[in-house]
Amino acid sequence: MLGSALSLALTGAGEPADERPRAELTGACYCRAVQELTCTGDLTERDCRRRCAEELCDDWFWLDRRPCWNWGYGG
């Protein structure tokens, strides 16, 4: 009995592989509010969605594995 419980614990406790927690990707989170577009880098899509809801963004999007783009040259 102990051996089978230990075996289940070591193999993911019987969860299908596609339902196991995965490392989330981070990326650039863009928020447009009051006609101004801002970006915060290194957020997961879930964190981006939460941030944009809290900041009452009119429009938002998230780009995985990308840094924020400054829309011009020199910073």
Contact at 8 Å (CB) between 64 and 47?
no
Residue 70: predicted pLDDT: 73
Distance CA 29, CA 39 (A): 5
pLDDT tens per residue, range 9-48: 444 455 555 665 678 999 999 999 999 999 999 999 999 9
pLDDT tens per residue, range 40-75: 999 999 999 999 999 999 999 999 999 998 766 544
